[in-house]
Chains A and B, each alone.
Chain A
């Protein structure tokens, strides 16, 4: 699939084929894609634990269910739990920045050197940053969000459906016994969609001009209709929800999966 089409076909899928397994190779593709996300100081805070729904002990699966996501956890055959490893910066102590210098990604042309990393960036910026938990957490989680979004798009590119949910952080840490400095973030539910790819249509979004600006916050970024048409042609902007056939689709899914309406 082309990139724009992948973006256009992504939906939060909540109806999965419960008995259709997901190929291990596709899960690896999802993780590989997360690993290649942009990441500040090349720290890579995101950690993931992949769970096969049918292999996790039922008592643990039940512990992981939240009232809102109990059904989707039952329906999706694969659950990927994402965590933020807050300890990583203090462990690597700028070594991955040095790797970027070695790789030529951070070059003297832009002021970078090993000495700058060792004597300034780590001791004076990164290490103190980790002691300001509020700011550090926000920065680390933002990076994790980017990686998780890569993972999400990869799932759709592989012909799968996926949806991010927020699990109970305390129970999730207990169930998996992760280190104290890992923060529980999201669970990505993965499987083959039982609903059509449109899943009721592209979800409503706030108007473009309410979100993006040009030069200052008083000047909305002007939206060019010609660009919008190109994105429609490329499959990125698709039919908006609600689609007229959605009610019937939900009725059929409810009937097939035995769900309440």
Chain B
């Protein structure tokens, strides 16, 4: 990682069950259920993608989210540089995924979804690119 700063949490590189138990992952799952009224059928695949991204950036899910915001008087602020850093990392991750362009974009969107439901504003371009 060329831009670190956050300490690694234990859920990076652990079992799927332990990974899913991370607070940021639970927030994501709750957000998806609340938004769509049900859990996506491919949830296990989505968690797997996020776990691969977590390994890709060598950070656990809680650390990723924690790095993107900071507490200030009166609430939370998004750390713009970190948000941009992860946005770039998602693009790199997308390019590294084995499969066609749609498969790659879908994987990147899973990670964006994780960020979004944790309150980190993020958009992909048309077709899922950065």
Contact = CB atoms under 8 A, between A and B. Distances in A.
B106 A258 contact: yes
A71 B36 contact: no
A67 B37 contact: no
Interface of B is mostly: helix
Nearest to B130: A70
A258 B36 contact: no
Interface in A61-79: 67-68, 70-71, 74-75
B123 A261 contact: no
Interface residues of A, number: 15
Interface string B88-130: 0000000000000010011001101100100001111111100
Contacts of B127: 257-258
Bin chain B's interface residue count.
20 to 34
B70 to A, nearest CB: 17
A248 B116 CA distance: 19
A70 B123 contact: yes
A261 B36 contact: yes
A251 B126 CA distance: 15
Contacts of B40: 261
B32 interface: yes
Contacts of B105: 258
Contacts of A260: 109-110, 112-113, 116, 122, 124, 128
Contacts of B110: 260
Nearest to A19: B126
A195 to B, nearest CB: 15
A251 B106 CA distance: 13
Contacts of B116: 260
Contact of A258 (B32, B37, B109, B121): B109
B35 interface: yes
Interface in B19-35: 32, 35
Interface string A58-96: 000000000110110011000000000000000000000
Contacts of A75: 126
A11 B3 CA distance: 42
Q: Which of B35, B40, B121, B126 has the most CB of A within 10 A?
A: B126
Contacts of A258: 102, 105-106, 109, 124, 126-128
B128 A259 contact: yes
Contacts of B126: 18, 71, 74-75, 257-258
Q: Which of B37, B124, B125, B128 has the most CB of A within 10 A?
A: B125
Interface in A229-261: 247, 251, 254, 257-261
A132 B110 CA distance: 51
Interface of B: 32, 35-37, 40, 102, 105-106, 109-110, 112-113, 116, 121-128
26 contacts: A18-B126, A67-B123, A68-B121, A70-B123, A70-B125, A71-B123, A71-B124, A74-B125, A74-B126, A75-B126, A247-B35, A247-B37, A251-B36, A258-B106, A258-B124, A259-B128, A260-B109, A260-B110, A260-B112, A260-B113, A260-B116, A260-B122, A260-B124, A261-B36, A261-B109, A261-B113
Interface of A: 18, 67-68, 70-71, 74-75, 247, 251, 254, 257-261
